Amino acid sequence: MNISTFKIANKLITGEGSIELLSKETHRLGMKNPLIVTDEILQRIGVVEKVQSKLIGLTSGVYTGVKPEPEIAIVEECTAMFREGNYDGIIAVGGGSAIDIGKCVSAFASFEGSIEELFGTDLVPQKGVPVIAIPTTAGTGSEVTNIAILSDKEAQLKKGIVSDFLLPDVAIVAPEMTLTMPKSVTAASGIDALVHAIEAYISVYASPITDALAIGAMKLIAVNLPKAYANPDHLKARENMATASLMAGMAFGNAGVGAVHALAYPLGGRYHIAHGVSNALLLTYVMEWNKISCLERFRDIAEALGENVAGLTDHEAADLAVEAMRRLCEAVNIPKGLRAFSVPEEDIPSMAEDASKIERLLKNNPRKFSVDEIEKIYRSAF
């Protein structure tokens, strides 16, 4: 049997000005007193105000305590505010961090147990209050996925809650919301989206539907990430990146991501390296490793990234795919080498141990690893 399922947010609203439909969606979902879940930076620069100005005929509250790579305690704090304020819906405004917190609070608010009980797959018992996700970065695709990622400070690990009950009810993807992203966030989140597309395309769970989305996302990112990085006000490039992130999210939300993400988790969990950057640090090394397991797929990746593969063998074309990714990371100034982030070299064996346990992601990867082989990848990326 070769069954695949495809699930995404219930409704996608995209394009410049789509934020205008927010009020209509809150009413459709029966929200009378939603909580906006966001962070201090977005509050300070006026993004939250822009969202609030669209809310008509209802009351709302604002939680601004989200931090990048958010910890479990943030879900607990935001949930306490949600319960005390008798809120009835979530409007998550921000990057993957704010959207993940919004999704978790929706699931956790009506749950009696501890959040630890929800880590894993399909452990959320029921659908929570409605969630509208409004991304302000173009990278994670969290607005369409059934996943939320939290940092466990004590265990120094990143942990995932995976449940179809986390799928947002509405994603409003308005590219103008991303215009204020700093260059480093544009780069890191854009590379994250590219990694989602590539890992979904080579996943053992890829399907024709996820393939089409993944290749489409790669094409858009190859052309538009350098443009958005070079000229932050380039609205068309921002729009194409927002669309690419959404497409990559739909692809990986169904086909899964693989070893790049699994090996990146310890970098986020222990050293708090931003998610997109930790992926970028490992990307080309993991791709070199994966290459032989699906050369013809790497040929497609090279083509999608704009390389001319005519007349090349699959091996040669696959090399070009890795080269194109290296060039793209360089073009957007992604720092190189774990050393640059003060990762202690003596930690590599235990990082490899931790990564090897992330079976949820490694099972999707087209080539298998031993712990020693993971260790070698970290050493080559050092």
- Applying CB under 6 A, the residues found at the interface with ligand NAD are 39, 41-42, 45, 68-69, 94-98, 100, 136-137, 139-142, 145, 147-149, 177-178, 180-182, 185, 189, 192, 275-276
Pick between residue 276 and residue 366 the one whose CB is nearest to ligand NAD: 276
Q: If you search the block for the tokens 């497409």, which residue do you land on?
A: 247
Pick between residue 178 and residue 284 the one whose CB is nearest to ligand NAD: 178
Strands of 136-246, DSSP E: 147-152, 157-162, 170-173
Considering the complex, what minimum distance in angstroms separates the CB of residue 104 from Fe ion? Answer: 17
Q: Are 318 and 295 in contact (CB under 8 A)?
A: yes
Q: Which does 102 bind (CB under 5 to 8 A by kind): ligand NAD, Fe ion, none?
A: none
Pick between residue 18 and residue 97 the one whose CB is nearest to ligand NAD: 97
Cα separation, 367 vs 259, in Å, equals: 9
Cα separation, 278 vs 369, in Å, equals: 19
Q: Which does 68 bind (CB under 5 to 8 A by kind): Fe ion, ligand NAD, none?
A: ligand NAD
Binding site for Fe ion (CB under 5 A): 192
Pick between residue 45 and residue 292 the one whose CB is nearest to ligand NAD: 45
Give the β-pairing of 170-173 and 157-162. unpaired
Cα separation, 333 vs 42, in Å, equals: 24
Q: Name the β-bridge partners of 158.
A: 151
Pick between residue 28 and residue 44 the one whose CB is nearest to ligand NAD: 44
Considering the complex, what minimum distance in angstroms separates the CB of residue 44 from ligand NAD? Answer: 9
Q: Which does 210 bind (CB under 5 to 8 A by kind): Fe ion, ligand NAD, none?
A: none
Cα separation, 178 vs 180, in Å, equals: 6
Q: Which does 159 bind (CB under 5 to 8 A by kind): Fe ion, ligand NAD, none?
A: none
Pick between residue 159 and residue 299 the one whose CB is nearest to ligand NAD: 159
Considering the complex, what minimum distance in angstroms separates the CB of residue 1 from ligand NAD? Answer: 27
Strands of 123-174, DSSP E: 131-135, 147-152, 157-162, 170-173
Q: Using CB atoms, what's the residue nearest to Fe ion?
A: 192
Q: Which does 203 bind (CB under 5 to 8 A by kind): ligand NAD, Fe ion, none?
A: none
CA distances from residue 276 to 68, 174, 264, 270 in whole angstroms, order as listed: 11, 21, 9, 15
Q: Which does 173 bind (CB under 5 to 8 A by kind): Fe ion, ligand NAD, none?
A: none
Pick between residue 147 and residue 167 the one whose CB is nearest to Fe ion: 147
Residue 172: closest CA among 377, 328, 28: 28
Pick between residue 100 and residue 192 the one whose CB is nearest to Fe ion: 192
Considering the complex, what minimum distance in angstroms separates the CB of residue 196 from ligand NAD? Answer: 7
| Structural element, H or E, at residue 336 | none
Q: Are 181 and 232 in contact (CB under 8 A)?
A: yes
Considering the complex, what minimum distance in angstroms separates the CB of residue 295 from ligand NAD? Answer: 27
Considering the complex, what minimum distance in angstroms separates the CB of residue 238 from ligand NAD? Answer: 10
Pick between residue 137 and residue 290 the one whose CB is nearest to ligand NAD: 137
Q: CB-hemisphere CA count at 13 Å for 375?
A: 10
φ/ψ of residue 10, rounded to 5: -70, -30
Q: Are 243 and 173 in contact (CB under 8 A)?
A: yes
Q: Which does 180 bind (CB under 5 to 8 A by kind): ligand NAD, Fe ion, none?
A: ligand NAD
Considering the complex, what minimum distance in angstroms separates the CB of residue 227 from ligand NAD? Answer: 17
Q: Which does 39 bind (CB under 5 to 8 A by kind): Fe ion, ligand NAD, none?
A: ligand NAD
Cα separation, 275 vs 151, in Å, equals: 11
φ/ψ of residue 39, rounded to 5: -125, 175
Residue 378: closest CA among 358, 356, 361: 356
Considering the complex, what minimum distance in angstroms separates the CB of residue 346 from ligand NAD? Answer: 26
Q: Which does 91 bind (CB under 5 to 8 A by kind): ligand NAD, Fe ion, none?
A: none
Query: DSSP assignment, residue 110?
Result: T
Considering the complex, what minimum distance in angstroms separates the CB of residue 14 from ligand NAD? Answer: 16
